[in-house]
Structure 1
Amino acid sequence: MDINTVTEVLRPRARDEIAAARPGDAFLGGGTFLFSEPQPELRRLIDLSKLRWAPLSAGDAGLDIAATCTIAELHAFEAPAGWTAAALIGECCRAFLASFKVWNMATVGGNICLGLPAGPMISLAAALDASCVLWAGDGGERRLPVLDFVRGPRENALAPGELLRRIELPAAALARRFAFRRASLTPLGRSGVLVIGTLDRDGSLRLTVTAATRRPQRLDFPAPLDRAALAARLAAELPPALYYDDVHGRPDWRRHMTQLFAEEIRAELLGEAA
Protein backbone atom coordinates (compact mmCIF):
# COMPACT_ATOMS: atom_id res chain seq x y z
CA MET A 1 0.00 0.00 0.00
CA ASP A 2 1.26 3.47 -0.85
CA ILE A 3 1.47 5.97 2.01
CA ASN A 4 0.56 9.12 0.14
CA THR A 5 1.03 11.47 3.08
CA VAL A 6 4.79 10.87 3.26
CA THR A 7 6.77 13.75 1.77
CA GLU A 8 10.31 12.76 2.81
CA VAL A 9 12.36 9.58 3.22
CA LEU A 10 15.68 9.76 5.07
CA ARG A 11 18.35 7.06 4.78
CA PRO A 12 20.95 7.61 7.52
CA ARG A 13 24.20 5.64 7.26
CA ALA A 14 25.42 6.27 10.84
CA ARG A 15 23.84 7.02 14.18
CA ASP A 16 24.76 10.70 14.09
CA GLU A 17 22.86 11.03 10.79
CA ILE A 18 19.55 9.96 12.34
CA ALA A 19 17.39 13.06 12.28
CA ALA A 20 15.88 14.56 15.41
CA ALA A 21 12.33 13.35 15.93
CA ARG A 22 9.35 15.40 14.89
CA PRO A 23 5.61 14.71 14.66
CA GLY A 24 4.73 12.46 11.74
CA ASP A 25 7.97 10.44 11.84
CA ALA A 26 8.24 6.66 11.64
CA PHE A 27 11.27 4.39 11.61
CA LEU A 28 11.19 2.00 8.68
CA GLY A 29 12.56 -1.53 9.15
CA GLY A 30 10.95 -4.14 6.95
CA GLY A 31 7.73 -2.21 6.47
CA THR A 32 5.48 -5.28 6.38
CA PHE A 33 3.08 -3.69 8.84
CA LEU A 34 3.75 -0.06 7.97
CA PHE A 35 2.67 -0.57 4.36
CA SER A 36 -0.18 -2.93 5.16
CA GLU A 37 -2.78 -0.30 6.08
CA PRO A 38 -3.31 3.46 5.86
CA GLN A 39 -1.01 5.59 8.03
CA PRO A 40 -2.52 9.08 7.55
CA GLU A 41 -0.51 10.63 10.38
CA LEU A 42 2.89 9.93 8.75
CA ARG A 43 4.91 12.62 7.01
CA ARG A 44 8.48 11.31 7.09
CA LEU A 45 10.09 7.87 7.05
CA ILE A 46 13.54 7.19 8.49
CA ASP A 47 14.83 4.10 6.70
CA LEU A 48 17.12 2.05 8.97
CA SER A 49 18.38 -0.34 6.28
CA LYS A 50 21.40 1.78 5.32
CA LEU A 51 22.77 1.56 8.86
CA ARG A 52 23.74 -2.02 7.98
CA TRP A 53 23.62 -3.43 11.49
CA ALA A 54 24.91 -7.00 11.71
CA PRO A 55 21.75 -9.12 12.01
CA LEU A 56 23.11 -11.50 14.66
CA SER A 57 26.08 -11.62 16.98
CA ALA A 58 26.72 -14.64 19.21
CA GLY A 59 29.27 -14.76 22.01
CA ASP A 60 29.89 -15.93 25.55
CA ALA A 61 27.32 -13.46 26.90
CA GLY A 62 24.56 -14.68 24.60
CA LEU A 63 22.91 -13.69 21.33
CA ASP A 64 22.40 -10.12 20.15
CA ILE A 65 19.68 -9.64 17.55
CA ALA A 66 19.60 -6.39 15.60
CA ALA A 67 16.21 -4.75 15.43
CA THR A 68 16.53 -4.90 11.63
CA CYS A 69 17.28 -8.64 11.57
CA THR A 70 14.70 -10.36 9.39
CA ILE A 71 12.76 -13.43 10.40
CA ALA A 72 14.53 -15.39 7.65
CA GLU A 73 17.96 -14.37 8.98
CA LEU A 74 17.02 -15.32 12.52
CA HIS A 75 15.57 -18.67 11.45
CA ALA A 76 18.82 -19.52 9.65
CA PHE A 77 20.92 -19.00 12.80
CA GLU A 78 22.94 -22.04 13.88
CA ALA A 79 23.30 -22.00 17.65
CA PRO A 80 26.16 -23.51 19.69
CA ALA A 81 25.47 -27.03 20.93
CA GLY A 82 25.02 -25.94 24.54
CA TRP A 83 22.21 -23.50 23.76
CA THR A 84 19.37 -25.97 24.14
CA ALA A 85 16.65 -23.34 24.22
CA ALA A 86 17.83 -21.85 20.92
CA ALA A 87 15.48 -24.36 19.29
CA LEU A 88 12.74 -21.93 20.37
CA ILE A 89 13.95 -19.62 17.63
CA GLY A 90 12.65 -21.96 14.94
CA GLU A 91 9.41 -22.63 16.81
CA CYS A 92 8.66 -18.92 17.17
CA CYS A 93 9.68 -18.04 13.61
CA ARG A 94 7.34 -20.70 12.26
CA ALA A 95 4.54 -19.29 14.43
CA PHE A 96 4.38 -16.39 11.96
CA LEU A 97 2.74 -18.70 9.39
CA ALA A 98 3.76 -16.07 6.83
CA SER A 99 4.82 -16.19 3.20
CA PHE A 100 8.48 -16.25 2.20
CA LYS A 101 8.08 -12.60 1.17
CA VAL A 102 7.11 -11.59 4.70
CA TRP A 103 9.84 -13.80 6.23
CA ASN A 104 12.45 -12.01 4.14
CA MET A 105 11.21 -8.50 4.94
CA ALA A 106 9.62 -8.55 8.41
CA THR A 107 12.04 -7.67 11.20
CA VAL A 108 12.42 -8.90 14.74
CA GLY A 109 12.38 -5.35 16.08
CA GLY A 110 9.26 -4.42 14.16
CA ASN A 111 7.36 -7.39 15.53
CA ILE A 112 8.35 -6.52 19.09
CA CYS A 113 7.63 -2.79 18.74
CA LEU A 114 4.18 -3.46 17.30
CA GLY A 115 3.28 -5.22 20.56
CA LEU A 116 0.50 -7.42 19.19
CA PRO A 117 -0.37 -10.29 21.57
CA ALA A 118 0.34 -12.88 18.85
CA GLY A 119 3.76 -11.42 18.00
CA PRO A 120 6.03 -14.51 18.10
CA MET A 121 9.24 -12.52 18.51
CA ILE A 122 7.70 -11.14 21.70
CA SER A 123 7.10 -14.74 22.81
CA LEU A 124 10.72 -15.70 22.09
CA ALA A 125 12.24 -12.66 23.75
CA ALA A 126 10.04 -12.80 26.84
CA ALA A 127 10.66 -16.52 27.39
CA LEU A 128 14.45 -16.06 27.18
CA ASP A 129 14.80 -13.06 29.53
CA ALA A 130 15.63 -10.68 26.69
CA SER A 131 16.54 -7.05 27.16
CA CYS A 132 15.79 -4.31 24.66
CA VAL A 133 18.59 -1.82 23.94
CA LEU A 134 17.05 1.55 23.12
CA TRP A 135 18.77 4.48 21.44
CA ALA A 136 17.66 7.96 22.42
CA GLY A 137 17.73 10.90 20.06
CA ASP A 138 20.29 12.73 22.24
CA GLY A 139 22.84 9.92 21.86
CA GLY A 140 21.93 8.13 25.08
CA GLU A 141 21.13 4.47 25.53
CA ARG A 142 19.05 2.46 27.97
CA ARG A 143 18.06 -1.15 28.51
CA LEU A 144 14.63 -2.47 29.37
CA PRO A 145 13.39 -6.06 29.80
CA VAL A 146 11.10 -6.99 26.94
CA LEU A 147 8.44 -7.80 29.55
CA ASP A 148 8.42 -4.09 30.44
CA PHE A 149 8.96 -2.84 26.90
CA VAL A 150 5.78 -4.38 25.46
CA ARG A 151 2.81 -2.74 27.17
CA GLY A 152 -0.09 -3.94 25.05
CA PRO A 153 -1.40 -4.11 21.49
CA ARG A 154 0.44 -1.45 19.47
CA GLU A 155 1.81 0.05 22.67
CA ASN A 156 5.44 0.02 23.83
CA ALA A 157 7.81 1.90 26.12
CA LEU A 158 9.62 3.91 23.44
CA ALA A 159 9.93 7.59 24.29
CA PRO A 160 9.59 10.17 21.49
CA GLY A 161 12.64 9.90 19.23
CA GLU A 162 13.81 6.57 20.66
CA LEU A 163 14.37 3.51 18.54
CA LEU A 164 14.94 -0.14 19.31
CA ARG A 165 18.57 -0.96 18.42
CA ARG A 166 18.85 -4.62 19.40
CA ILE A 167 17.48 -7.44 21.53
CA GLU A 168 19.90 -9.27 23.84
CA LEU A 169 19.27 -12.92 24.79
CA PRO A 170 21.50 -14.04 27.70
CA ALA A 171 23.48 -17.27 27.36
CA ALA A 172 22.12 -18.60 30.66
CA ALA A 173 18.55 -18.48 29.34
CA LEU A 174 19.58 -20.06 26.03
CA ALA A 175 21.06 -23.02 27.92
CA ARG A 176 17.80 -23.99 29.67
CA ARG A 177 15.51 -26.87 28.82
CA PHE A 178 12.22 -25.76 27.33
CA ALA A 179 8.71 -26.83 26.31
CA PHE A 180 6.55 -25.08 23.72
CA ARG A 181 2.79 -25.09 23.21
CA ARG A 182 0.73 -23.11 20.71
CA ALA A 183 -2.95 -23.10 19.73
CA SER A 184 -4.90 -21.42 16.96
CA LEU A 185 -8.54 -21.60 15.97
CA THR A 186 -7.55 -22.68 12.46
CA PRO A 187 -4.65 -24.77 11.10
CA LEU A 188 -2.98 -21.74 9.50
CA GLY A 189 -4.35 -19.07 11.80
CA ARG A 190 -2.78 -16.48 14.06
CA SER A 191 -1.72 -17.72 17.49
CA GLY A 192 -4.52 -17.57 20.01
CA VAL A 193 -2.45 -19.01 22.86
CA LEU A 194 1.31 -19.49 23.11
CA VAL A 195 2.91 -20.81 26.28
CA ILE A 196 6.63 -21.48 26.77
CA GLY A 197 8.21 -23.10 29.80
CA THR A 198 11.90 -23.09 30.63
CA LEU A 199 13.64 -25.08 33.35
CA ASP A 200 16.76 -23.96 35.22
CA ARG A 201 19.39 -26.34 36.51
CA ASP A 202 18.14 -25.76 40.07
CA GLY A 203 14.72 -27.09 39.06
CA SER A 204 12.92 -23.75 39.01
CA LEU A 205 10.36 -23.31 36.28
CA ARG A 206 9.51 -20.20 34.27
CA LEU A 207 6.26 -19.96 32.33
CA THR A 208 5.74 -17.27 29.69
CA VAL A 209 2.24 -16.64 28.38
CA THR A 210 1.71 -14.68 25.16
CA ALA A 211 -0.98 -14.42 22.46
CA ALA A 212 -3.62 -15.28 25.08
CA THR A 213 -3.03 -12.12 27.13
CA ARG A 214 -2.91 -8.43 26.24
CA ARG A 215 0.78 -8.26 27.08
CA PRO A 216 3.43 -10.92 27.79
CA GLN A 217 3.19 -12.51 31.23
CA ARG A 218 5.92 -14.38 33.10
CA LEU A 219 5.43 -16.57 36.17
CA ASP A 220 8.41 -17.96 38.08
CA PHE A 221 8.03 -21.10 40.19
CA PRO A 222 10.65 -22.49 42.57
CA ALA A 223 11.01 -26.27 42.76
CA PRO A 224 9.13 -28.41 43.55
CA LEU A 225 5.84 -27.50 41.86
CA ASP A 226 2.68 -29.58 41.82
CA ARG A 227 -0.52 -29.28 39.80
CA ALA A 228 -2.49 -27.53 42.54
CA ALA A 229 0.18 -24.89 43.15
CA LEU A 230 0.41 -24.15 39.45
CA ALA A 231 -3.35 -23.79 39.07
CA ALA A 232 -3.54 -21.48 42.07
CA ARG A 233 -0.82 -19.18 40.73
CA LEU A 234 -2.37 -19.02 37.28
CA ALA A 235 -5.74 -18.09 38.74
CA ALA A 236 -4.25 -15.44 41.00
CA GLU A 237 -1.86 -13.78 38.55
CA LEU A 238 -3.76 -14.15 35.27
CA PRO A 239 -7.29 -12.92 36.05
CA PRO A 240 -10.01 -13.18 33.38
CA ALA A 241 -9.77 -9.48 32.51
CA LEU A 242 -6.15 -9.94 31.36
CA TYR A 243 -7.04 -12.34 28.53
CA TYR A 244 -7.32 -10.87 25.06
CA ASP A 245 -10.57 -10.82 23.09
CA ASP A 246 -10.56 -10.70 19.30
CA VAL A 247 -11.57 -12.79 16.28
CA HIS A 248 -8.68 -15.18 16.97
CA GLY A 249 -10.10 -16.41 20.28
CA ARG A 250 -12.50 -15.67 23.10
CA PRO A 251 -11.02 -14.91 26.53
CA ASP A 252 -12.60 -17.99 28.16
CA TRP A 253 -11.08 -20.30 25.51
CA ARG A 254 -7.70 -18.60 25.83
CA ARG A 255 -7.79 -18.95 29.60
CA HIS A 256 -8.72 -22.64 29.41
CA MET A 257 -5.96 -23.41 26.89
CA THR A 258 -3.39 -21.46 28.89
CA GLN A 259 -4.16 -23.54 31.98
CA LEU A 260 -4.09 -26.77 29.97
CA PHE A 261 -0.76 -25.97 28.30
CA ALA A 262 0.81 -24.78 31.54
CA GLU A 263 0.01 -28.10 33.21
CA GLU A 264 1.33 -30.05 30.21
CA ILE A 265 4.57 -28.05 30.33
CA ARG A 266 4.93 -28.53 34.09
CA ALA A 267 4.53 -32.29 33.69
CA GLU A 268 6.91 -32.45 30.73
CA LEU A 269 9.73 -30.43 32.22
CA LEU A 270 9.48 -31.87 35.71
CA GLY A 271 9.39 -35.44 34.37
CA GLU A 272 5.88 -36.43 35.39
CA ALA A 273 3.42 -38.41 33.31
CA ALA A 274 1.22 -36.04 31.35
Structure 2
Amino acid sequence: MLKQRVITAVVLLAVLLPALFASNPWPFGLFTLVMVAAAGWEWGRLNGLTAGSVLLGALVAALCAAAWWAGLVVTLWPLVAIAWIVGAALALRAGPGGWPQAPALLRWVLGVLMLCAAWLAMTQGRALGLNFLLSVFCLVWMADIAAYFAGRAFGRRKLAPTISPGKSWEGVYGGMAGVLLLAVLWSLADAHFAPASLSLYSLLPARLGWPLAVLSLLVLAAMSVAGDLFESLVKRAAGAKDSSQLLPGHGGVLDRIDALLPVLPIALALATL
Protein backbone atom coordinates (compact mmCIF):
# COMPACT_ATOMS: atom_id res chain seq x y z
CA MET A 1 0.00 0.00 0.00
CA LEU A 2 2.77 2.44 0.94
CA LYS A 3 4.62 1.69 -2.30
CA GLN A 4 1.44 2.38 -4.29
CA ARG A 5 0.88 5.66 -2.44
CA VAL A 6 4.43 6.82 -3.11
CA ILE A 7 4.36 5.89 -6.81
CA THR A 8 0.99 7.60 -7.33
CA ALA A 9 2.15 10.71 -5.48
CA VAL A 10 5.35 10.93 -7.53
CA VAL A 11 3.44 10.58 -10.81
CA LEU A 12 0.92 13.24 -9.80
CA LEU A 13 3.65 15.64 -8.72
CA ALA A 14 5.56 15.00 -11.95
CA VAL A 15 2.52 16.23 -13.86
CA LEU A 16 1.24 18.88 -11.44
CA LEU A 17 4.42 20.80 -10.69
CA PRO A 18 5.44 21.58 -14.32
CA ALA A 19 1.83 22.58 -15.05
CA LEU A 20 1.65 24.75 -11.94
CA PHE A 21 4.91 26.59 -12.63
CA ALA A 22 4.39 26.98 -16.38
CA SER A 23 4.28 30.59 -17.53
CA ASN A 24 1.10 29.88 -19.50
CA PRO A 25 -1.99 29.07 -17.40
CA TRP A 26 -3.29 26.47 -19.89
CA PRO A 27 -1.34 23.39 -18.65
CA PHE A 28 -2.48 23.90 -15.06
CA GLY A 29 -6.02 24.68 -16.15
CA LEU A 30 -6.27 21.56 -18.31
CA PHE A 31 -4.74 19.25 -15.71
CA THR A 32 -7.05 20.47 -12.96
CA LEU A 33 -10.01 20.36 -15.36
CA VAL A 34 -9.41 16.64 -15.92
CA MET A 35 -9.17 16.12 -12.17
CA VAL A 36 -12.37 18.01 -11.40
CA ALA A 37 -14.20 16.07 -14.15
CA ALA A 38 -13.05 12.84 -12.48
CA ALA A 39 -14.32 14.18 -9.17
CA GLY A 40 -17.67 14.87 -10.83
CA TRP A 41 -17.81 11.25 -12.00
CA GLU A 42 -17.07 10.09 -8.46
CA TRP A 43 -19.74 12.38 -7.03
CA GLY A 44 -22.34 10.93 -9.37
CA ARG A 45 -21.47 7.36 -8.37
CA LEU A 46 -21.60 8.20 -4.66
CA ASN A 47 -25.03 9.75 -5.11
CA GLY A 48 -26.79 6.98 -6.97
CA LEU A 49 -26.10 8.13 -10.53
CA THR A 50 -24.60 4.94 -11.94
CA ALA A 51 -24.55 4.96 -15.75
CA GLY A 52 -24.99 8.75 -15.87
CA SER A 53 -22.04 9.52 -13.63
CA VAL A 54 -19.79 9.98 -16.67
CA LEU A 55 -22.22 12.59 -17.96
CA LEU A 56 -22.07 14.41 -14.62
CA GLY A 57 -18.29 14.55 -14.82
CA ALA A 58 -18.51 15.78 -18.42
CA LEU A 59 -21.00 18.46 -17.35
CA VAL A 60 -18.65 19.71 -14.65
CA ALA A 61 -15.79 19.90 -17.16
CA ALA A 62 -17.97 21.59 -19.79
CA LEU A 63 -19.25 24.27 -17.42
CA CYS A 64 -15.76 25.00 -16.11
CA ALA A 65 -14.29 25.12 -19.62
CA ALA A 66 -17.09 27.41 -20.83
CA ALA A 67 -16.52 29.80 -17.93
CA TRP A 68 -12.78 29.78 -18.63
CA TRP A 69 -13.25 30.34 -22.36
CA ALA A 70 -15.66 33.21 -21.69
CA GLY A 71 -13.17 34.80 -19.31
CA LEU A 72 -15.69 34.67 -16.47
CA VAL A 73 -14.42 36.24 -13.26
CA VAL A 74 -16.56 35.36 -10.26
CA THR A 75 -17.14 38.29 -7.91
CA LEU A 76 -19.69 36.65 -5.62
CA TRP A 77 -17.19 34.66 -3.56
CA PRO A 78 -18.63 35.93 -0.23
CA LEU A 79 -21.99 34.40 -1.17
CA VAL A 80 -20.28 31.12 -2.10
CA ALA A 81 -18.43 31.21 1.23
CA ILE A 82 -21.64 31.74 3.19
CA ALA A 83 -23.36 28.95 1.24
CA TRP A 84 -20.50 26.58 2.11
CA ILE A 85 -20.50 27.45 5.81
CA VAL A 86 -24.27 27.16 6.20
CA GLY A 87 -24.62 24.14 3.90
CA ALA A 88 -21.80 22.18 5.55
CA ALA A 89 -23.25 22.87 9.00
CA LEU A 90 -26.70 21.64 7.94
CA ALA A 91 -25.34 18.52 6.21
CA LEU A 92 -23.10 17.56 9.14
CA ARG A 93 -25.92 18.12 11.59
CA ALA A 94 -28.20 15.82 9.58
CA GLY A 95 -25.48 13.16 9.50
CA PRO A 96 -25.05 10.21 7.15
CA GLY A 97 -28.68 9.22 7.59
CA GLY A 98 -29.99 12.60 6.53
CA TRP A 99 -27.97 12.99 3.33
CA PRO A 100 -29.80 10.31 1.28
CA GLN A 101 -33.11 11.91 2.26
CA ALA A 102 -32.32 14.94 0.10
CA PRO A 103 -33.68 14.67 -3.49
CA ALA A 104 -31.15 13.03 -5.81
CA LEU A 105 -31.37 15.87 -8.34
CA LEU A 106 -30.54 18.40 -5.62
CA ARG A 107 -27.49 16.36 -4.58
CA TRP A 108 -26.27 16.13 -8.17
CA VAL A 109 -26.71 19.87 -8.74
CA LEU A 110 -24.94 20.68 -5.47
CA GLY A 111 -22.01 18.52 -6.54
CA VAL A 112 -21.71 20.27 -9.90
CA LEU A 113 -21.87 23.73 -8.30
CA MET A 114 -19.42 22.76 -5.58
CA LEU A 115 -16.83 21.39 -8.00
CA CYS A 116 -17.20 24.23 -10.51
CA ALA A 117 -16.83 26.83 -7.74
CA ALA A 118 -13.68 25.14 -6.45
CA TRP A 119 -12.13 24.95 -9.93
CA LEU A 120 -12.93 28.59 -10.72
CA ALA A 121 -11.54 29.65 -7.35
CA MET A 122 -8.37 27.67 -8.06
CA THR A 123 -7.83 29.26 -11.48
CA GLN A 124 -8.54 32.74 -10.14
CA GLY A 125 -6.24 32.03 -7.22
CA ARG A 126 -3.47 31.17 -9.66
CA ALA A 127 -4.12 34.48 -11.41
CA LEU A 128 -3.41 36.19 -8.07
CA GLY A 129 -0.01 34.53 -8.11
CA LEU A 130 1.67 31.21 -7.43
CA ASN A 131 2.61 32.36 -3.95
CA PHE A 132 -1.06 32.92 -3.12
CA LEU A 133 -2.28 29.60 -4.54
CA LEU A 134 0.50 27.58 -2.92
CA SER A 135 -0.18 29.23 0.42
CA VAL A 136 -3.83 28.09 0.22
CA PHE A 137 -2.80 24.55 -0.71
CA CYS A 138 -0.30 24.44 2.15
CA LEU A 139 -2.90 25.71 4.63
CA VAL A 140 -5.02 22.64 3.91
CA TRP A 141 -2.04 20.29 4.04
CA MET A 142 -0.77 21.80 7.30
CA ALA A 143 -4.23 21.64 8.89
CA ASP A 144 -4.46 17.95 7.96
CA ILE A 145 -0.92 16.98 9.03
CA ALA A 146 -0.97 18.92 12.30
CA ALA A 147 -4.44 17.56 13.12
CA TYR A 148 -3.24 14.01 12.51
CA PHE A 149 -0.27 14.26 14.88
CA ALA A 150 -2.14 16.28 17.52
CA GLY A 151 -4.97 13.77 17.39
CA ARG A 152 -2.59 10.83 17.74
CA ALA A 153 -0.84 12.46 20.71
CA PHE A 154 -3.67 14.15 22.56
CA GLY A 155 -6.96 12.99 21.00
CA ARG A 156 -9.59 12.18 23.61
CA ARG A 157 -12.89 13.77 22.59
CA LYS A 158 -14.39 12.49 19.34
CA LEU A 159 -15.30 15.18 16.83
CA ALA A 160 -17.88 13.33 14.72
CA PRO A 161 -17.95 9.63 15.69
CA THR A 162 -20.80 8.74 13.32
CA ILE A 163 -18.98 10.27 10.34
CA SER A 164 -15.24 9.95 10.95
CA PRO A 165 -14.42 8.12 14.22
CA GLY A 166 -10.71 8.87 13.97
CA LYS A 167 -11.06 12.65 14.23
CA SER A 168 -10.93 14.44 17.58
CA TRP A 169 -11.41 17.98 18.85
CA GLU A 170 -7.79 17.98 19.99
CA GLY A 171 -6.78 17.23 16.42
CA VAL A 172 -8.82 20.20 15.17
CA TYR A 173 -7.11 22.52 17.66
CA GLY A 174 -3.73 21.13 16.68
CA GLY A 175 -4.52 21.75 13.01
CA MET A 176 -5.49 25.35 13.77
CA ALA A 177 -2.27 25.88 15.72
CA GLY A 178 -0.28 24.46 12.81
CA VAL A 179 -1.99 26.84 10.38
CA LEU A 180 -1.20 29.86 12.58
CA LEU A 181 2.43 28.78 12.86
CA LEU A 182 2.61 28.35 9.09
CA ALA A 183 1.10 31.83 8.62
CA VAL A 184 3.74 33.47 10.81
CA LEU A 185 6.63 31.69 9.10
CA TRP A 186 5.29 32.29 5.59
CA SER A 187 4.62 35.99 6.22
CA LEU A 188 8.18 36.38 7.55
CA ALA A 189 9.49 34.66 4.41
CA ASP A 190 7.39 37.01 2.25
CA ALA A 191 8.88 40.02 4.04
CA HIS A 192 12.42 38.70 3.62
CA PHE A 193 12.29 37.45 0.02
CA ALA A 194 9.72 39.92 -1.40
CA PRO A 195 8.09 37.48 -3.88
CA ALA A 196 6.30 38.66 -7.00
CA SER A 197 2.87 38.02 -5.45
CA LEU A 198 1.52 38.10 -1.91
CA SER A 199 0.62 34.90 -0.11
CA LEU A 200 -2.66 34.49 1.73
CA TYR A 201 -0.70 35.03 4.96
CA SER A 202 0.55 38.45 3.86
CA LEU A 203 -2.58 39.50 2.00
CA LEU A 204 -5.02 38.98 4.89
CA PRO A 205 -3.09 41.05 7.48
CA ALA A 206 -2.53 43.80 4.91
CA ARG A 207 -6.24 44.06 4.14
CA LEU A 208 -7.87 43.08 7.41
CA GLY A 209 -5.26 43.58 10.11
CA TRP A 210 -3.77 40.74 12.13
CA PRO A 211 -6.70 40.15 14.55
CA LEU A 212 -9.18 39.58 11.71
CA ALA A 213 -6.52 37.75 9.71
CA VAL A 214 -6.02 35.28 12.57
CA LEU A 215 -9.78 34.78 12.84
CA SER A 216 -9.99 34.24 9.06
CA LEU A 217 -7.22 31.63 9.15
CA LEU A 218 -8.98 29.79 11.98
CA VAL A 219 -12.18 29.76 9.90
CA LEU A 220 -10.27 28.37 6.91
CA ALA A 221 -8.68 25.67 9.06
CA ALA A 222 -12.11 24.76 10.45
CA MET A 223 -13.62 24.63 6.97
CA SER A 224 -10.86 22.33 5.75
CA VAL A 225 -12.02 19.91 8.46
CA ALA A 226 -15.65 20.49 7.46
CA GLY A 227 -14.85 19.68 3.82
CA ASP A 228 -13.17 16.45 4.85
CA LEU A 229 -16.09 15.51 7.11
CA PHE A 230 -18.64 16.37 4.44
CA GLU A 231 -17.05 14.03 1.92
CA SER A 232 -16.76 11.33 4.58
CA LEU A 233 -20.47 11.80 5.30
CA VAL A 234 -21.35 11.32 1.62
CA LYS A 235 -19.18 8.21 1.39
CA ARG A 236 -20.63 6.75 4.58
CA ALA A 237 -24.15 7.39 3.31
CA ALA A 238 -23.22 5.52 0.12
CA GLY A 239 -21.49 2.70 2.00
CA ALA A 240 -18.16 3.45 0.32
CA LYS A 241 -14.69 3.53 1.86
CA ASP A 242 -13.16 5.64 -0.93
CA SER A 243 -14.68 7.89 -3.58
CA SER A 244 -13.08 5.62 -6.23
CA GLN A 245 -9.82 3.81 -6.99
CA LEU A 246 -8.58 6.26 -9.62
CA LEU A 247 -5.50 7.07 -7.54
CA PRO A 248 -3.98 3.76 -6.39
CA GLY A 249 -3.09 3.90 -2.71
CA HIS A 250 -4.93 7.21 -2.25
CA GLY A 251 -8.52 6.37 -3.17
CA GLY A 252 -10.23 8.84 -5.47
CA VAL A 253 -9.85 12.45 -6.53
CA LEU A 254 -12.52 13.61 -4.06
CA ASP A 255 -10.55 11.93 -1.27
CA ARG A 256 -7.61 14.18 -2.10
CA ILE A 257 -9.41 17.48 -2.71
CA ASP A 258 -12.29 17.31 -0.21
CA ALA A 259 -10.76 19.86 2.18
CA LEU A 260 -9.91 22.21 -0.69
CA LEU A 261 -13.51 22.39 -1.91
CA PRO A 262 -14.67 24.88 0.74
CA VAL A 263 -11.27 26.45 1.47
CA LEU A 264 -10.58 27.67 -2.08
CA PRO A 265 -13.73 29.79 -2.52
CA ILE A 266 -13.62 31.07 1.08
CA ALA A 267 -9.97 32.08 0.62
CA LEU A 268 -10.97 33.96 -2.56
CA ALA A 269 -13.78 35.65 -0.65
CA LEU A 270 -11.38 36.81 2.05
CA ALA A 271 -8.71 37.85 -0.44
CA THR A 272 -11.13 39.99 -2.43
CA LEU A 273 -12.82 41.76 0.50
Using CA pairs under 8 Å that are at least 6 residues apart, name the structure with larger relative contact order, 1 or 2: 2
Q: Which has the higher helix share?
A: 2
* TM-score (ref. length: structure 1): 0.24
Q: Of the two, which has the highest radius of gyration?
A: 1
Q: Which has the higher strand share?
A: 1
